[in-house]
Amino acid sequence: MKPVIKICYLAIILILISCSEDKNNKRVTIAFSQCIGNDAWRKTMLEEMKRELSFYSNVRFLYKDANGDNEVQINQIRELAKSDIDILIVSPNEASPLTPIVDSLFQKNIPVIVTDRKTSSGMYNAYVGADNQEIGEIAGDYIASIIKHKGNIGIITGLEGSSASIEREKGLNIALKKYPQINLKTRISGNWEKQNAKELVLSNLEEINTLDVLLAFNDQMAMGANESISNNKIIIIGVDALPGKNNGLEQISNGKMNASILYPTGGTESIRTAISIINKLPYNRDNILGTLVIDKTNAKLLEMQYNKIKDQQNDIDKRQQLIIEQTKIYQNQKSILNILISSLVITVVLAAVSILALKSNWEKNKFLEIKNNEILTQKNKILEMNEKLKETSELKNNFFTKISHEFKTPLTLIIAPIEELNKINTFPIEVKSQLERMGRSANKLLSLIGDLLDLNKITSNRIKLNAEYISLDVFIKQILNNFKPLFNKKKIYTSYQRLTKINSIWIDEYLMEQAISNIISNAVKFTPEGGKIQIIIEENELGDYIHLRIKDNGIGINKKFLHNLFEPYFQVNASSTGSGIGLAYVKEIIELHYGQITASSKEGLGTTITLRLLIGDNHLNIEDKARNKQLTQQFENKKLSDNLDEKYFTPIPVINSNSNKFLLIIDDNDEIQAYLKEIFQNEYNLLFALNYNDAKKVLNENYPDLIICDVMLPDGNGLDLLTEIKENPSTFQVPIILLSAVNNQETKVEAYKRLVDVYITKPFNADYLIEIVKSLLIFREQLKEKFSCTNNSIEPGNSMTSIDKKFLTTFQSIVDSNMSNPKLGANYIASEMNISRIQLYRKIKQLLNLSIQNYIIEKRLMYSKKLILEGYNINEIYEKLGFSSATYFTVAFKKRFNVSPSTYKKQSFQ
Ligand code: FRU
């Protein structure tokens, strides 16, 4: 138990003790055995007892009425003795039968008070009542006085064995001895009862009518006798003189009875004596109550006195009642006061406890504050150290990344000559095998460096999701397309099946391409020549995931290695070229997509890697696609304002009046477009194309100075577009930069084989791209200058043969005469000159070192000057000369003559 609660309990107990009753006031039990209780005299006795008892709140009062039956009374006393009584008051019905039981209680040290009637042994502590013998004597003397010592008298006695009756009769006989002329003629045993007396008198009426006086031993019997007697000369005397209605005193006043000897009940005195005995106070053994004769002379007075006493008694009762109520109020108030005191004590105790607790809390807080400060200081130190560690780790990482990149160049320089040397067949076998070993090791090193860079991406947590809603078919087909050279080389058959109606999912195209390319790369590595790689997309039963399976029929993986497959550094085959980071990186990417990757395999039968990817975008956070969303939102707004068809929306060209260079950006990725636009819009004019076909349309109508093209286009391959551009005589000289997430050797080699100018892998560095664009444009400018003509005219060189000159003249005349023909182009001229387009292109390139398109533009621009001078407005001119728009004409004009057509017009007419 808590000390506070203990203290509270203690306080409450103390308070309760202080409120408890006085010790001296302990509870006691008084038992009263009444011989008969239904007559007025005994009812009065009981009333008196109760009134007296009301002064003693600690007394328990047990009352038993034997109804005039000895046996009953004996049993009742026996029962009372068992009830832990402190005293017995008894009025024995008859002396002898009751004596043994009363004596036995007395002998057991239970105090006994006999009242009104007595037992025969005298073994009791006290007697309360009048002297019945004296009552008999007084009655005798009184009778003698009223009949002048001479006459006949009769008596009606009480219960024969009751001491009251015996003693009264004895007293009467003693008195009558003094009066010899008085004759006790009749004796009737009335048993104390009125009805008895009435009936017995009636049956002895003849004799009784001869009497002068009839003495009944109680008023009740006297009244019964009176009702039977017809001779009203007989003097009737009773005993008791009980006040109250229909009782003795009233009968005397009414003249129905002549006199009565007062016999007090002694109820009050009995209780007082009992209390004294219990409290061990002095008391009298014989408490004899006074008596006197009451007749017509004093009955009235006594009645009045009695009434007065009764009034006073009522008053006392009322006061008593008031006292009880007041006591109750007092008790209530005392209780409230006690509760208040208790509360006060508890409050004080609690306050003290609270103060103690507060003090201890304050001390604890102080201690905690000190500790807290210490922890805070330590935390700050740790944070500082952490920051330093982070810095160091970042430095290390940066160094690590840089140095890894640095390794790549010398390694490439080692691999390239080894590959060249490998082609020479004349080397002896030992040299050849040495060269092959060197080549393998160098390639392994290159692959390890690639893995190191991937590892760095994982450990530095740099990869972040940038998900878009991607078409599965286009995405997978593009990846397969990238691998085409490799598949062809190993004669691997591939297939792609989508067995679900889900055709698009939210993925980071760049990361997912890396992941899937990595898996396919592995599949190719472990699949023998002529093998099979399948890509199957299915939907799970609940319809919340797609399962993308990449299945090969290669050598397979031993069961015991399967669960480690996606652990960093894990390699099934120690002699394999990689570090084992690849699949861990793949796993990282898939988990970044909130997906799972699993592998199943059977040695000798093949391996299946399954990607479990969520359908929809509920799993993505805003940051996972925020950049796209923002960009998409920008484009959405633009689309609305431009009122363009959503499906074919292409970013509007950026026209920069400070620049005469045009860049064409071919990429369907909104973000890449926005990014390229951001880095180039201040330097160049920008044209955009979203896909393969779009790019072709733009190229038909425009003459970009440089093209930046994605390899994975939604409707085709960037490599194929590259081929088309480089094979087209009108565009072959335009530098092309291929941007691709594909970072494998084969694709790069393929791109350079198709004459790409620069192949840049995503993610790319902006400064790097800017510088490459700049240098390619400068280089092209220099070339142009080398073959360009002076004085605004295009002239054939001196070294030209006459055939060439003739060819050129025909060519020039076709151009000149079709200046406003929109069909004018390589095709048109070739058909006019009856040669193939390629022939025409090669010839013009050879003679003028200029593309046909550029020649036509040049001619048209020169002619436009003439038209300006002739007063045509720009709209008329661009239409006349077959330019696609007034803007394009203005830009081309300014680019060519460093002045806008309107300024040129103004200047010319000045
Ligand atoms: C009542 C009574 C009284 C009488 C007394 C004698 O029961 O009969 O009238 O005086 O008993 O014991």
Residue nearest to atom 8 of ligand 1 (CA): 192
* pLDDT tens by residue, 80-100: 999 999 999 999 999 999 999
Average pLDDT over residues 639-668: 63
Average pLDDT over residues 429-433: 81
Least confident of 502-511, 805-814, 841-850, 859-868: 841-850
* pLDDT tens by residue, 349-370: 899 988 998 998 899 999 999 9
* pLDDT tens by residue, 542-575: 889 999 999 999 999 888 888 878 876 555 554 4
Per-residue pLDDT at 626: 47
User: Is 218 a pocket residue for ligand 1 (Cβ < 6 Å)?
Assistant: yes
Please state, in angstroms and rounded to a whole number, the distance separating the CA atoms of residues 811 and 186: 189
Is the model's pLDDT at 194 over the cut of 80? Answer: yes
To test the pocket of ligand 1, the residue of 36, 115, 218, 221 to mutate (highest count of ligand atoms within 8 Å of its CB) is 218
Highest-pLDDT range among 233-247, 397-411, 796-810 = 233-247
Highest-pLDDT range among 51-60, 434-443, 485-494, 738-747 = 51-60
Residue written as token pair 């308070």: 15
Please state, in angstroms and rounded to a whole number, the distance separating the CA atoms of residues 232 and 299: 20
- The DSSP bridge partners found for residue 60 are 29
DSSP code, position 120? S
Per-residue pLDDT at 766: 82
Per-residue pLDDT at 18: 53
Per-residue pLDDT at 729: 60
Is the model's pLDDT at 833 over the cut of 70? Answer: yes
Average pLDDT over residues 450-476: 75
Is the model's pLDDT at 171 over the cut of 90? Answer: yes
User: Is 703 a pocket residue for ligand 1 (Cβ < 6 Å)?
Assistant: no
In percent, the amount of the chain with pLDDT more than 90 equals 42
The closest of 727, 726, 663, 721 to 694, measured between CA atoms, is 721
Average pLDDT over residues 586-610: 92
Please state, in angstroms and rounded to a whole number, the distance separating the CA atoms of residues 408 and 445: 9
Residue 264 CA to ligand 1 centre (angstroms): 10
Per-residue pLDDT at 784: 62
Per-residue pLDDT at 161: 95
Average pLDDT over residues 185-206: 95
Please count the helices (runs of H) and the strands (runs of E) in the chain: 31, 26
Q: Give me the DSSP letters along 391-452.
A: HHHHHHHHHHHHHHHHHHHHHHHHHHHHHHHHH-TTS-HHHHHHHHHHHHHHHHHHHHHHHH
For 617, phi and psi rounded to 5 degrees? -130, 15
Q: Which atom of ligand 1 is nearest to the CA of 116?
A: 12
Residue 159 CA to ligand 1 centre (angstroms): 9
User: Is 238 a pocket residue for ligand 1 (Cβ < 6 Å)?
Assistant: no
Residue 746 CA to ligand 1 centre (angstroms): 142
Res. 37 pLDDT band, cuts 50 70 90: very high
Per-residue pLDDT at 731: 74
Per-residue pLDDT at 216: 97
Residue nearest to atom 1 of ligand 1 (CA): 41
Is the model's pLDDT at 816 over the cut of 90? Answer: no
Average pLDDT over residues 267-294: 96
Per-residue pLDDT at 292: 94
Highest-pLDDT range among 39-43, 571-575, 892-896 = 39-43
Structure tokens, 512 = 């997912």
Residue nearest to atom 4 of ligand 1 (CA): 218
- Annotate 762-776 with b (16+ C-beta within 10 A) or e (fewer): bebeeeebeebbeeb
Residue nearest to atom 9 of ligand 1 (CA): 218
The closest of 594, 585, 583, 587 to 507, measured between CA atoms, is 594
Residue nearest to atom 12 of ligand 1 (CA): 164
The answer to whether 117 and 102 have CB atoms below 8 angstroms apart is: no
Residue 192 CA to ligand 1 centre (angstroms): 6
Per-residue pLDDT at 815: 87
Residue 134 CA to ligand 1 centre (angstroms): 15
CA 373 to chain centre: 33
The dihedral through the CA atoms of 165, 166, 171, 172 has a sign that is positive
